[in-house]
Amino acid sequence: MMNTLRILVMLAWRNLWRNHRRTLIMLGAVVVGVWAMIFMTALTMGMVNDMIEDSISVLPGHVQVHNPDYLDDPNIANLLPKPDKEIETIFAPAGFLAWATRIKVPAVLSSERESRGVTLLGIDPQREEAMSFVDYSAVDGRFLDGPDDDGLVIGRKLARTLETELGKRVVLMTQDPDNDIADRGFRVVGLFSADVEAYEEQYVFAGKGTVQELLGVGDRVTSIVVLGDDYRNVEPVYEKVQALVDDGVAVTRWTELDTYLGTMLRVMDGFVLVWVIVIFLALSFGLVNTLVMAVFERVREIGLMLALGMKPSSILGQIVIESMMLLVIGLAIGNLLAWATIKPLEGGIYISVVAEGMAMMGAASVLYPQLRPEDVILANAVVLILGFFASLSPAWRASRFQPIEAITKVN
């Protein structure tokens, strides 16, 4: 059996290089196709990964706990039932990667020239640092020192819109639990930047204690936010949080909080498979054509081998081995080429030309390709499996030749 296989491999290798030009052209097509599969998949998954991570850094976290009515009506009246200190006692020993409590309410921020609707985040800056989309060290001025800091940190784009700057006073207005206007003057102590520019105009940060005092809610918060190890697998964190809280609150995964990105993640995972199959279907026409031409050139030779006693199954195996050899060589070169082109780009591709369009989708203007081993394995597996089935047609045709007819055939 092994001797037969060794002979078939040797014959397949020699036959593959009988027509160098045709083989090299087909090999080039396979290499380009494999490179395109992996390169475009890396770009797509990098974009999706960046969008999700940016979104999670704004949510933030992988799992959140709210009052059941809060998500439908983000009003300060819909607070969590337990006070902040009691939540601290429950969650501190749980061993989460990161967690925090916060107040998140809609507000209006006014300078002496303009006003804008914003989302006010009352936070404990030390707890939020591991989860926030804001790089504290890159803030112009300073970030908040603690939960009782009486300063305000706003985005650079919002500062331009309001025509204000560091050190200026602005007025923040929102509603308290009695639906009365709660307003206060704040001094702008920091200007932050974000990968997605829209976040710079949407969010403002204040100390959690200061916001609680402004709204008159005592030691109460609107949200508990929890960060896990992997945004693709939040179930362990979700179940752990559920076990810590009462039935009177809502525990929500990030995919439920941002259904657009949750759906996109599932669609993109399916898209990779569809993309690989579509590219290979285009390649398969060239592959089948190459094998058919190789068979036609060797009709008399195949007939002679059959007449000398070679089994039809061996003829079929020889043609299939030729196909797999061609694909394996193409995959090896294509994988290497994809790795060589993606690795230098992992530092980021600045796509300022389409920055506004990317921002509309919640993506940054810098794209970081992501070469995942599972995507490379998927592409290689699909090519080999579909290549095997594509080669069966010409291989089967060759194995069905009648020796006498094949030997006497005039080319």
- Higher model confidence: residue 54 or residue 242? 242
Question: Which of 205, 185, 208, 174 minimizes the C-alpha distance to 84?
Answer: 208
Q: What pLDDT score does 162 carry?
A: 94
pLDDT in tens, 350-403: 765 555 555 555 555 667 788 888 888 888 888 888 888 888 877 787 777 777
Pair of tokens at residue 279: 């590219």
Tokens of 260: 């657009």
Domain boundaries of the chain, sorted by first residue: 2-55+262-407, 61-254
Return all residues near 97 (Cβ < 8 A) that are at least 6 apart.
130, 227, 228, 229
In DSSP terms, which residues pair with 151 in a beta bridge? 187
The pLDDT-based confidence of 316 (bands split at 50, 70, 90) is confident
CA distance linking residue 391 with residue 396, whole number of Å: 8
Residue with structure tokens 């979700």? 238
Would the pLDDT of 110 be above 70?
Answer: yes
Q: By the 8 A CB rule, do 42 and 342 touch?
A: yes
DSSP class per residue in 298-332? THHHHHHHHHTT--HHHHHHHHHHHHHHHHHHHHH
Q: Which residue has the higher pLDDT, 354 or 318?
A: 318
State yes or no: pLDDT of 232 exceeds 90: no
Sign of CA dihedral 31, 36, 38, 39: positive
Q: Which residue(s) pair with 314 in the sheet?
A: none
Q: What is the pLDDT of residues 92-104, one digit of tens each?
A: 899 898 999 999 9
Question: Beta partners for 117?
Answer: 108
What DSSP character marks residue 223?
E
State yes or no: cis peptide before 403, omega within 30 of 0. Answer: no
pLDDT confidence bin for 1, thresholds 50/70/90? low
* pLDDT digit string, tens, across residues 250-290: 999 988 887 777 777 777 777 777 877 787 777 777 767 77
pLDDT category at 343 given cuts 50, 70, 90 is confident
Q: How many CB atoms lie within 10 A of CB 34?
A: 28
- State percent of the chain over pLDDT 90: 37
For the entire predicted model, the pTM comes to: 0.67
Give me the mean pLDDT over the 179-185 stretch: 92
Question: Based on C-alpha coordinates, what's the Rg of the chain?
Answer: 31
